[in-house]
Amino acid sequence: MNHFDPYGVFSAYVPGFTEMLIDYYEREQSERDQEFNDIWRIIRPMLQPLYDVLGQYYVPRNVSRHIFRVVVQLTLQHKSEGSGSLDQRVQQLLYTVKTNSPWIMVVLQAYRVPEKEIDHIVKTVIRDVLEHIGYQPEQDFRKWESLGGVLSSGPAVASWGGNRLDVFARGPEHELLHKWWDGGRWSDWEHLPGALTSSPAAVSWGANRIDVFARGPQHELLHKWWDGGRWSEWESLGGVLTSSPAVASWGENRLDVFVRGEDRHLYHKWWDGGHWSEWENLGGVITSAPEAVSWGGNRIDVFARGTKRELVHKWWDGVRWSDWEDLGGVLTSSPAAASRRANRLDVFARGANQELVYKYWDGERWSDFLSLDGRLTSEPAAVAWGKNRLDVFARGEQHELLHRWKG
């Protein structure tokens, strides 16, 4: 199948004609090819370095994107025609792309992209497609492992350094349970006193520092911290909580805590390094505990379940709070969120069949929900301690702590 050249003579004379043709072509392609949509969703985050390379030659992003999509489509159409090793198949498909869509070379050479660079870019896209044909989302994640224990709530997790994990949950006596990974092994469970009436929340804002929050017996917010030498006593921060809390930190000695109030609105309280604020009402109607994460200075993203069991999202950009946005899905728990790098978000929840479901923001758009396996009896918890590392925890059918990871 030959693809038309959207960069013909009309685009030279009619402003916006190129963009109109691209949009029309991609809309038709998207509607007719589910396999394309599945592969594109998977490899799209991997293409950012290629956008960056072409951007150095001032190739517009929408032009690069269209070229990538055509290469993906051609690779899928001719995937069974190649033979030999992966490298040989990639080379054969490069010839197919050049034969079927010679305009790609013409357009990129017009931007003075060297032929060798064009070949490398096209081959990278082809390789990504071939490596992900038949891909299942759970292949990125290790299988669930059991870390034992008897949990009476969902877990919380924080990381204060590379290859360091601290996991918390409520125990059978409503005490706080703590278990940690030091880079070489998991500790035994540590029992810390308390009278918790919710799942805990945890965050770290510095090396060997952890702050833990939970709801107390009067439905108040409780706070406990590790300073590198010892655990503090619990302190009461007031409020009337109807959910577990959530906490994020976007800077040293900065804490932002979120809860659901009696009116089902989202409430916010923060520590600025010197004192705690009063409670701020951020509105909304949420039907689960909130979740919060930060991927940069003065940036916070908050998630919760909405009235239709959908995922809802609200964020602080350093100046103001956004409105709530509906991200769809069918959640049977509160969500969990992690960020591996700037402008990247990974969100998890329990789905309609008690499985783990997963949705991510790649810096430009949200993915569809991906269904992972599992039989969860609580909301999940998630954390990232590296740009490609994600750790997810939940309670299993035996009330034990379950763990899986990616990266």
- Co-location of 305 and 333 in the same domain: yes
pLDDT at 313 exceeding the cut of 70 = yes
Output the domain CATH number for residue 371: 2.120.10.70
Interior angle at CA 173, CA 171 and CA 179, nearest 5? 25
Find out whether 196 and 176 touch, Cβ atoms under 8 Å: yes
CA–CA separation, 254 and 336 (whole Å): 20
Which amino acid appears at position 44 of this protein? Answer: R
- Co-location of 225 and 346 in the same domain: yes
**Is 239 buried (19+), middle (13-18) or exposed (0-12) by CB count in 10 A?**
buried
Within a domain: residue 358?
Answer: yes
Task: Mean pLDDT check: name the lowest of 126-130, 285-289, 295-299, 310-314.
Answer: 126-130
Tokens of 368: 């569809």
Within a domain: residue 1?
Answer: no
- Co-location of 117 and 236 in the same domain: no
Tokens of 23: 């949009």
Can you tell me the mean pLDDT for 313-334?
97
Of 85, 104, 134, the domain-final residue: 134
Can you tell me the mean pLDDT for 32-46?
84
- Co-location of 69 and 89 in the same domain: yes
Within a domain: residue 2?
Answer: no
Of 110, 134, 158, the domain-final residue: 134
- Co-location of 183 and 309 in the same domain: yes
Q: What is the pLDDT of residues 51-100, one digit of tens each?
A: 999 999 999 999 999 999 999 999 999 988 877 778 888 999 999 999 99
DSSP state of 317: -
Within a domain: residue 4?
Answer: no
- Co-location of 33 and 147 in the same domain: no
Domain that holds residue 69: 9-134
**Is 142 buried (19+), middle (13-18) or exposed (0-12) by CB count in 10 A?**
middle
- Co-location of 236 and 366 in the same domain: yes
Hey, is 334 helix, strand or coil?
A: coil
- Co-location of 116 and 143 in the same domain: no
For position 45, what pLDDT does the model report?
A: 87
- Co-location of 118 and 146 in the same domain: no
Beta bridge partners of 312: 304, 326
346-353, long-range: CB within 8 Å, 24+ apart, which pairs? 346/382, 346/384, 346/390, 347/291, 347/303, 347/311, 348/380, 348/382, 348/392, 349/305, 349/311, 349/379, 349/380, 350/376, 350/378, 350/379, 350/380, 350/394
For position 85, what pLDDT does the model report?
A: 77
Q: How many CA atoms lie within 13 A of 162 on its CB side?
A: 4
- Co-location of 143 and 104 in the same domain: no
Q: Higher confidence at residue 195 or residue 364?
A: 195
How would residue 15 be classed by pLDDT, with cut points 50, 70 and 90? very low
For position 38, what pLDDT does the model report?
A: 84
Strand 381-386 versus strand 389-395 pairing type:
antiparallel
**Is 325 buried (19+), middle (13-18) or exposed (0-12) by CB count in 10 A?**
exposed
DSSP string of 194-218, one letter each residue: ---SS--EEEEEETTEEEEEEE-TT
How would residue 135 be classed by pLDDT, with cut points 50, 70 and 90? low
Give me the number of domains the chain comprises. Answer: 2
Tokens of 377: 């009896």
Q: Could you give the percent of the chain with pLDDT greater than 90? A: 80
Within a domain: residue 203?
Answer: yes
- Co-location of 328 and 223 in the same domain: yes
Can you tell me the mean pLDDT for 178-190?
97
* Rounded alpha-carbon distances, angstroms, from residue 307 to 13, 223, 330, 355: 50, 29, 11, 20
- Co-location of 103 and 152 in the same domain: no
Q: What is the mean pLDDT of the chain?
A: 91
Within a domain: residue 200?
Answer: yes
pTM, to two decimals? 0.74
Of 104, 134, 164, the domain-final residue: 134
Within a domain: residue 121?
Answer: yes
Hey, is 312 helix, strand or coil?
A: strand
Beta-strand ranges (E) seen in 317-355 are 325-326, 336-338, 345-350
Q: What is the pLDDT of residues 214-260, one digit of tens each?
A: 999 999 999 999 999 999 999 999 999 999 999 999 999 999 999 99
Within a domain: residue 3?
Answer: no
- Rounded to the nearest 5°, which phi and psi values hold at 231? -90, 140
